[in-house]
């Protein structure tokens, strides 16, 4: 006879917004357009808890995820599709009004160096989550962080062309329903073209000279990079309905601290 | 003749919500009730930027902070008072509609061990921020994270009293106007009494036995700890008007991942 | 005409031990016994620099790695084999006396839950490096960190069987030549059996009860876990010639800090 | 009647090198030349454990530290003096052959901006440890990490003066006996003058122009910065007997990864 402590009355009858697991690491495979991606996400998976129940059956959350990942190992077209399946599987094991599953992972992609045209491998950080709420369509939130650089236009204008430049991080976060979520690749592209220049794992001298030239030809504040991400997103995703947040962060080479700029924009599809 | 690039028109006329410095480290002193605290905060200090201005004069943010900290080095009664002064000082150097300054730092305090009554030093994490917005009173957000523990009541009930226990982290975050913000000490107290037991840097054998006994007498899910923090806050701060968020996180000893619970409560003062 | 700054004389003629790239992220595939692993390692790749040369041609390091990873994408039997190939490829592009390449990555594996026998996915941290030095065989250093738990035997003995337990991390680091390096799986196995109990991503109630019972039957100090790892390694790898280092760290449930134990043992093969 | 589990025989008679506490946070005050520093160190405090003893009495380590910090709260001239006192106090509570105590903390200092001569507050990371071993003098290891920048001389030489620059971190680690350990301030000074330029929390436009000019006049590889730290240390500390290690790390603005250089030098006093 099992004592079902979770279903007892709690001492304080307070509704909780999110209860579940955090920093659980697992691994999974997605495939889209013939490209297979193996991911090792850090998972946060939570549901709400009514005021009159003491606890969540935590193992059912992990069980739902493990079953979905294990049974149909390689067929998912996207992280969003996989997350919807996990939330649906949980619905059959545990009641909830609002469930949310979030994956944080590293995502690899190949590009060409700008002058020598060699293949180079790049890796960026992605956070992707799906929310399932009673009577609403699934919504997703996807955030991509990509490294580029900034070049100070103010110093350049006042210092006979001499200026300082530095590594920068651009972030784009989008919120929307399933059919409106862009690919990671499109989000990466939008961010990369918003910097003074893209960055590369590999640069031969001819590439390095070209990148440095491009940087000097395109001096940008962190504010400019943030607005570029917002504007480029607006143009690229104008057919979609999305709420979009951008951040640019510049690891100042003349300071010990960073500078940041954050903004928000909304597209309304057709 | 200085070229004022920041005041030029931006290429994309998009308003930005937050522009400023991040991960700037500084140091400062507060004194309250005769207790002096030296803090080395990590600072985020941002203002909004209108759509028709290209950039923020970043150095004015740092200058405002540095001047306030340097000129009246030891007189501040609280972090909130210091942050208000910095935001006010910035108003005289740079126009903005909404400014926000956030400090993240470690905060030390002394307690007694539970049985042997020896003095022990404890340190917790604090995040404190102040927002100044046109036509509104200053609002503050303070978050305190304290380490305690949880003991699983479900396993205990089903396993002849045998159960698992683990380190846990309790967080309380409050939002309110200046006169309603509680002290760090009161927030720490509310969190510490919400766990299965408090934790201590120093425990002699008699203390360790007492703590272990208390843990077994007070088995709590992470959901219970979260609700305890909310309930204890409600009772302790009932005379204040605050929006309060609690999180409990348990570093499960039988899993590689954590479990969490989050909730929210509001008090409306008298 | 390229100016080869790297080959100029440095201002201070001091030999440097390690020069190269750090925190470079890339991705690669290994396959052993039919099991394919996709890894996204964080790379540190360095060589020594003689006193009379100003700099290292950094791009040749990245180029060597990128070419080896790209050309024969899926054929490597092990991380060590891949690292040897990269060091060999570099030898043809850049002279060095000592070269070292290190990968830090997450490694996933499947196990069964202890009572319900469900499949569960686990992830641990691995650091693997290879050193190539003139006139010496390649040596490798592999470190695996796995999460388990500890149960205090001292408190149990003094407190009528009541005690505290907590999450713990066990680490095993081995140094040896190519033919003596064990698999990650064998290293994980050695660490997991050294704890009071293993931990699992998924535990149904019957599993949780069994794990908790095992923990109480096997109380271990962090010192015991460290010695268990060393003893189990000695027995498991007695046919190999290895220098082995173990660490156990216990995230004390009654304290805010951790406790650790570190030791070293050597096996000399047959 | 206390059962002294720690003094029992262990299952595996293996000597352990380090057993103790880690990531314990405490706070303390030092005063030198009239300057008072409040520190919140993260502490690692370990001793060795003979093969025939099961465990260390962990609470005696914390107790020794807490008593020394509490009793004579503000009289220590240096972190090294404080650490010697704690190791000596432990000797009276617990036998050991080798004891080591390490503090990691943030250290603040004031400088002037280069052109406008305003006061600015800077913070760097320090790690300081003391070893007490039977029949040997106390030895100390102190590491200081300071942020500066690098400017690529190779790109500048090939690209008509155009080049890339970036934030960099310089580290100096010294090992020696008590009378040979330099002050944190002297170590910071040695590192700061080894970069293409120093960095500052606050820079007005005239300062920013000067710093940018200095950077362009002083292009340095990460190898150059590392050698500068070693050479400057050798000159500054030639009267002392020290083993010294330097690292320079450059957060490349044209790459997503860092580049590093490491070296070692020894001074032998008079």
> Closest approach of chain D CAs to the CA of A217, in angstroms?
11
Longest dimension (CA), chain A: 82
Q: Where in chain C is the domain with CATH 3.10.270.10?
A: 1-96, 105-270
Output the CA–CA distances (angstroms, integers) from residue A172 to A111, A126, A142, A167, A258, in the order listed. 20, 10, 8, 17, 18
D158-181, pLDDT tens digit by residue? 999 999 999 999 999 999 999 999
Report the C-alpha gap between B4 and B10 in whole angstroms.
13
Residue A73 pLDDT grade (very low, low, confident, very high; cuts 50, 70, 90): low
Chain B contact for A49, CB < 8 A? yes
Report the C-alpha gap between B55 and C73 in whole angstroms.
46
> Closest approach of chain A CAs to the CA of D244, in angstroms?
24
Position A75 scores a pLDDT of 60
- Dihedral of the alpha carbons of D198, C19, A211, B54, in degrees to the nearest 10: -30
Residue D75 pLDDT grade (very low, low, confident, very high; cuts 50, 70, 90): low
Output the CA–CA distances (angstroms, integers) from residue D190 to B220, D73, D227, D232, D235, in the order listed. 53, 31, 12, 6, 10
Average pLDDT over residues B14-36: 87
More confident: B74 or A78? A78
Q: Which of A38, A45, A104, A107 to mutate to test the interface with C (most CBs of C within 10 A)?
A: A38
Chain D contact for A255, CB < 8 A? yes
Chain B contact for A2, CB < 8 A? yes
Whether the CB-CB separation of C140 and C177 falls below 8 Å is answered with yes
Contacts of C149 in chain B (CB under 8 A): 164, 253-254
Work out how many CB contacts closer than 8 A connect B with D. 71
Tell me whether residues D159 and A215 touch, CB distance under 8 A. Answer: no
Residue of C23, C54, C231 lying closest to D258 (CB–CB): C23
Report the C-alpha gap between C60 and C252 in whole angstroms.
46
Chain D, 212 to 231: residues with Cβ < 8 Å from chain A are 212-213, 215-216
C236's enclosing H/E stretch is helix C222-236
Residue of A6, A44, A230 lying closest to B14 (CB–CB): A230
Nearest residue of chain D to residue B36 (CA atoms): D38
Whether the CB-CB separation of B222 and B230 falls below 8 Å is answered with no
A185-206, pLDDT tens digit by residue? 999 999 999 999 999 999 999 9
Task: Kindly tell me if the per-residue pLDDT of B72 is higher than 70.
Answer: no
Whether the CB-CB separation of A134 and A210 falls below 8 Å is answered with no
Tell me whether residues A212 and D167 touch, CB distance under 8 A. Answer: no
Work out how many CB contacts closer than 8 A connect A with C. 71
More confident: D132 or B28? D132
Contacts of D200 in chain A (CB under 8 A): 254-256
Buried b (16+ CB within 10 A) or exposed e, C166-196: bbbbbbbbbbbeeebbbebeebbbbbbebbb
Residue of A27, A70, A119 lying closest to C66 (CB–CB): A119
Contacts of D205 in chain A (CB under 8 A): 154, 158
Contacts of B221 in chain A (CB under 8 A): 5-6, 54-55
Name the CATH superfamily for D107-270: Urate Oxidase; (3.10.270.10)
Assigned token pair, C259: 């406790």
Position C30 scores a pLDDT of 76
Contacts of C163 in chain B (CB under 8 A): 212
Cα–Cα nearest to D43, from D130, D118, D121, D101? D101
Tell me whether residues D209 and A255 touch, CB distance under 8 A. Answer: no
Q: What percent of chain C has pLDDT over 90?
A: 88
> Closest approach of chain C CAs to the CA of D30, in angstroms?
23
Position C69 scores a pLDDT of 85
Contacts of A228 in chain B (CB under 8 A): 11-12
Assigned token pair, D105: 């903390």
Average pLDDT over residues D217-239: 98
C200-257, pLDDT tens digit by residue? 999 999 999 999 999 999 999 999 999 999 999 999 999 999 999 999 999 999 999 9
Mean pLDDT of chain A: 94
Residue A35 pLDDT grade (very low, low, confident, very high; cuts 50, 70, 90): confident
Tell me whether residues A167 and D167 touch, CB distance under 8 A. Answer: yes
Report the C-alpha gap between B195 and B149 in whole angstroms.
6
More confident: C102 or B75? C102
Cα–Cα nearest to A216, from A167, A164, A251, A255? A164
DSSP-derived letter for residue D10 is P
Output the CA–CA distances (angstroms, integers) from residue A153 to A5, A164, A246, D200, D211, in the order listed. 63, 9, 21, 19, 15
Residue C190 pLDDT grade (very low, low, confident, very high; cuts 50, 70, 90): very high
Q: Which of D25, D30, D115 to mutate to test the interface with B (most CBs of B within 10 A)?
A: D25
Chain A, 50 to 79: residues with Cβ < 8 Å from chain C are 59, 62-63, 66, 69-70
Tell me whether residues C212 and B149 touch, CB distance under 8 A. Answer: no
Cα–Cα nearest to A153, from A97, A222, A58? A222
Cα–Cα nearest to D254, from A252, A106, A168? A168
Residue of D2, D40, D62 lying closest to B202 (CB–CB): D62
Quickly name the fold that domain C105-270 has: Urate Oxidase (3.10.270)
Contacts of A14 in chain B (CB under 8 A): 227, 230-231, 263, 265
Task: Kindly tell me if the per-residue pLDDT of B27 is higher than 80.
Answer: yes
Tell me whether residues B256 and A3 touch, CB distance under 8 A. Answer: no
Contacts of B72 in chain D (CB under 8 A): none
Chain A contact for C205, CB < 8 A? yes
Nearby residues of D88 by Cβ (< 8 Å), 6 or more positions away: D132
Assigned token pair, B25: 């480290």
Q: What share of chain D is helix, strand, coil (3-state, %, to 5)?
A: 30, 40, 30
Average pLDDT over residues B148-174: 97
Assigned token pair, B149: 């523990």
Position D39 scores a pLDDT of 87
Report the C-alpha gap between A170 and A175 in whole angstroms.
17
> Closest approach of chain C CAs to the CA of B167, in angstroms?
4
Mean pLDDT of chain B: 94
Residue C73 pLDDT grade (very low, low, confident, very high; cuts 50, 70, 90): low
Contacts of B208 in chain D (CB under 8 A): 59
Mean pLDDT of chain D: 94
Nearest residue of chain C to residue A5 (CA atoms): C205
The CATH code of the domain at A112-270 is 3.10.270.10
3-state secondary structure D154-172: HHHHHCCCCCCEEEEEEEE
Chain D contact for A110, CB < 8 A? no
Average pLDDT over residues A96-111: 96
Contacts of C120 in chain A (CB under 8 A): 62, 66
Task: Kindly tell me if the per-residue pLDDT of A163 is higher than 80.
Answer: yes
How many CB atoms neighbour CB B162 within 10 A?
Answer: 15
Task: Kindly tell me if the per-residue pLDDT of B38 is higher than 90.
Answer: no
Position D236 scores a pLDDT of 97
- Dihedral of the alpha carbons of A67, A68, A71, A72, in degrees to the nearest 10: -170
Report the C-alpha gap between D11 and D53 in whole angstroms.
10
Average pLDDT over residues D19-25: 98
Contacts of D258 in chain A (CB under 8 A): none
Q: Where in chain D is the domain with CATH 3.10.270.10?
A: 1-96, 107-270
- Dihedral of the alpha carbons of B251, B257, B259, B262, in degrees to the nearest 10: 100
Task: Kindly tell me if the per-residue pLDDT of C75 is higher than 70.
Answer: no
Report the C-alpha gap between A32 and D240 in whole angstroms.
63
Whether the CB-CB separation of A229 and A194 falls below 8 Å is answered with yes
Q: Where in chain A is the domain with CATH 3.10.270.10?
A: 1-96, 112-270
Nearest residue of chain B to residue D2 (CA atoms): B205
- Its ipTM equals 0.95
Chain C contact for D26, CB < 8 A? no
Position B73 scores a pLDDT of 52
Cα–Cα nearest to A141, from A104, A109, A96? A104
Report the C-alpha gap between B188 and B171 in whole angstroms.
9
Position D128 scores a pLDDT of 97
Average pLDDT over residues B9-30: 94
Contacts of C203 in chain B (CB under 8 A): 254-255
Position B218 scores a pLDDT of 98
B191-216, pLDDT tens digit by residue? 999 999 999 999 999 999 999 999 99
Chain A contact for B94, CB < 8 A? no
pTM: 0.96
Whether the CB-CB separation of A145 and A125 falls below 8 Å is answered with yes
The CATH code of the domain at B13-268 is 3.10.270.10
Contacts of B59 in chain D (CB under 8 A): 202-205, 208
Tell me whether residues A16 and B257 touch, CB distance under 8 A. Answer: no
Nearest residue of chain B to residue D208 (CA atoms): B59
Residue A120 pLDDT grade (very low, low, confident, very high; cuts 50, 70, 90): very high
Going by their DSSP bridges, the two strands D165-177 and D241-250 should be labelled as: antiparallel
Output the CA–CA distances (angstroms, integers) from residue D64 to A139, D37, D71, D101, in the order listed. 55, 21, 11, 11
Residue of A12, A222, A224 lying closest to B10 (CB–CB): A224
Assigned token pair, A218: 């395109």
Residue owning tokens 């059919």: A179
Position A177 scores a pLDDT of 97
Contacts 24+ apart (CB under 8 A), A107-114: A107/A37, A107/A39, A107/A144, A107/A184, A108/A37, A108/C25, A108/C26, A108/C27, A108/C40, A109/A184, A109/A185, A109/A188, A111/A200, A113/A200, A113/A202, A113/A203, A113/A204, A113/A207, A114/A198, A114/A200, A114/A207, A114/A210, A114/A211, A114/A214
Whether the CB-CB separation of B87 and B79 falls below 8 Å is answered with no
> Closest approach of chain C CAs to the CA of A155, in angstroms?
27
What's chain C's length in residues? 270
Assigned token pair, C47: 């060589």
Average pLDDT over residues B227-245: 98
Nearest residue of chain C to residue A43 (CA atoms): C201
Domain at D1-96: CATH architecture: Roll (3.10)
First and final C-alpha spacing in chain C? 58
Tell me whether residues B23 and A258 touch, CB distance under 8 A. Answer: yes
Contacts of A62 in chain C (CB under 8 A): 120, 201-202
Neighbouring subunits of B (3+ Cβ pairs under 8 A): A, C, D
Assigned token pair, B88: 């006010």
Residue owning tokens 């889209």: A32
B91-147, pLDDT tens digit by residue? 999 999 999 999 999 999 999 999 999 999 999 999 999 999 999 999 999 999 999
Spacing of C-alpha D57 from chain mean position: 28
Report the C-alpha gap between D66 and C194 in whole angstroms.
33
Strands (E), D92-205: 98-112, 119-133, 139-151, 165-177, 197-198
Task: Kindly tell me if the per-residue pLDDT of C36 is higher than 70.
Answer: yes
Average pLDDT over residues A140-161: 97
Chain D, 133 to 172: residues with Cβ < 8 Å from chain B are none
What's chain D's length in residues? 270
């Amino acid at each position: 006879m099992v004592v079902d402590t979770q279903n007892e009355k709690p001492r304080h009858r307070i509704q909780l917004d999110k209860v579940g697991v955090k920093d659980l690491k697992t691994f999974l495979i997605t495939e889209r357009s013939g490209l297979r991606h193996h991911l090792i996400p850090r998972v946060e998976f939570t549901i709400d808890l009514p005021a009159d129940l003491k606890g969540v059956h935590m193992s059912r959350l992990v069980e739902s995820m493990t079953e979905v990942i294990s049974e149909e190992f390689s067929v998912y077209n996207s992280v969003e599709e996989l997350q919807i399946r996990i939330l649906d599987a949980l619905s059959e094991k545990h009641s909830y009004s609002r469930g949310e599953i979030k994956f944080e992972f590293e995502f690899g992609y190949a590009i060409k160096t700008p002058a020598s045209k060699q293949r180079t491998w790049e890796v960026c950080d992605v956070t992707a989550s799906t929310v399932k709420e009673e009577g609403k369509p699934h919504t997703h939130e996807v955030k991509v962080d990509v490294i580029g650089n900034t070049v100070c236009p103010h110093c350049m204008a006042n210092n006979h062309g001499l200026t300082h430049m530095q590594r920068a991080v651009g972030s784009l976060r989008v919120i929307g329903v399933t059919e409106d979520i862009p690919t990671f690749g499109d989000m990466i592209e939008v961010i990369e073209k918003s910097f003074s220049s893209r960055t590369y794992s590999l640069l031969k001298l001819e590439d390095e000279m070209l990148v440095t030239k491009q940087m000097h030809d395109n001096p940008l504040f962190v504010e400019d990079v943030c607005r570029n991400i917002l504007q480029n997103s607006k143009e690229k995703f104008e057919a979609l309905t999305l709420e979009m947040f951008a951040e640019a962060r510049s690891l100042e080479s003349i300071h010990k601290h960073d500078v940041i700029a954050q903004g928000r924009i909304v597209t309304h599809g057709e």
